[in-house]
Amino acid sequence: MTNRNLAPIDESAPMFRARGLTKVYRMGEVEVHALRGVDLDLYAGEFVVLLGASGSGKSTLLNILGGLDAPTSGEVESGGHVLSGADEEALTRFRREAVGFVFQFYNLIPSLTARENVALVTEIAQAPMRPDEALALVGLGDRLDHFPAQLSGGEQQRVAIARAIAKRPAVLLCDEPTGALDSTTGVRVLQALERINAETGALTVVITHNAVIAQMADRVIRLSDGHIVGIERNAARVPATELAW
Which range touches another protein (CB under 8 A), out of 88-96, 207-215, 216-224, 231-239? Answer: 88-96
CB of 12 or CB of 126, closer to another protein: 126
Q: For another protein, which residue of 5, 11, 12, 28 counts as binding (CB under 8 A)? A: 28
Residue 39: name the closest of 94, 81, 77 by CA: 77
Order of strands, sheet of 171-175, starting from the edge strand that comes earlier in the sequence: 99-102, 171-175, 203-208, 47-52, 219-224, 227-233
Q: Answer yes or no: are the C-beta atoms of 25 and 34 closer than 8 Å.
A: yes
Which range touches another protein (CB under 8 A), out of 13-21, 74-82, 90-98, 212-220? Answer: 90-98
Q: For another protein, which residue of 24, 112, 144, 238 counts as binding (CB under 8 A)? A: 112
Min CB(174)–another protein separation in Å: 12
Min CB(232)–another protein separation in Å: 27
Residue 65: name the closest of 17, 125, 12 by CA: 17
SS3 assignment, position 203 = strand
Q: For another protein, which residue of 25, 37, 39, 73 counts as binding (CB under 8 A)? A: 25
- What residues from 125 to 184 belong to the interface with another protein (CB under 8 A)? 125, 163, 167, 175
Which residues, in sequence order, are CB contacts of 50 under 8 Å at separation 6+? 58, 61, 62, 205, 206, 207, 208, 221, 223
> How far is the first Cα of the chain from the last one, in angstroms, to the nearest whole number?
20
Q: For another protein, which residue of 5, 12, 80, 89 counts as binding (CB under 8 A)? A: 89
H, E, C per residue of 41-53: EECCCCEEEEEEC
Binding site for another protein (CB under 8 A): 25, 27-29, 59-60, 63-64, 66, 68-69, 88-89, 92-93, 95-97, 99-101, 103, 105, 107, 109, 111-113, 116-117, 119-121, 123-125, 163, 167, 175
